[in-house]
Amino acid sequence: MSEIIRTLSPSEIAAALPALAEVLSDCVEGGASVGFMSPYLPADAMPYWEGVSQAVADGNTVLIVAERDGEIVGTVQLGIGMMPNQPHRADLKKLLVHRKARGLGLSRALMDAADVEARKHGRHILVLDTATGSPAEFIYEKLGWQRVGVIPQYALMPDGSYCGSTFFYKALSAG
């Protein structure tokens, strides 16, 4: 089994859309609070990924994927299209790993790749939010992200119940 972490170019995204939709659908159906409600089929995810594709083409987003044996099983986005007073900052968005590929270190590898991409784009402050109490919250802390605080009832879980959102930041060292 071989894993590859890579950044998709705008021209590569169209072919990747079905796999990206499958990963997002699997995560939502697995209970991840990433903006969508259950039931959520891969077809439901296509408009979202088409928007991401446009953001990549516009230079506002970097799309990183994890492949295992040639199949996309994980992804993360780096939002770099910031306001003029935030040229040093990027938003980490939608760290997603398909349930069948969890426990392989792909979250860490995707986040490491996001750090590299952030530096390439001159970003040294990264921010993100995640559902309070979720497994992702533990992952971010383990990876050195600093907890800022929690907003209760910030969003809904896929089943419609409220969840808080924990906000994190990470300062990248130069280099």
Residue 97: give its domain's CATH number.
3.40.630.30
- pLDDT tens, 102-157? 999 999 999 999 999 999 999 999 999 999 999 999 999 999 999 999 999 999 99
User: Cβ of 169: how many Cβ atoms within 10 Å?
Assistant: 15
| Phi, psi (deg, nearest 5) at residue 32 | -75, 130
Query: Could you report how far apart the first and last alpha carbons of the chain are, in Å?
Result: 32
In total, how many domains does the chain have?
A: 1
With respect to residue 166, please indicate whether it lies within any of the assigned structural domains: no
With respect to residue 60, please indicate whether it lies within any of the assigned structural domains: yes
pTM, two decimals, is 0.96
- pLDDT tens, 16-36? 999 999 999 999 999 999 999
* Torsion, CA 163, CA 155, CA 52, CA 40, rounded to 10: 70
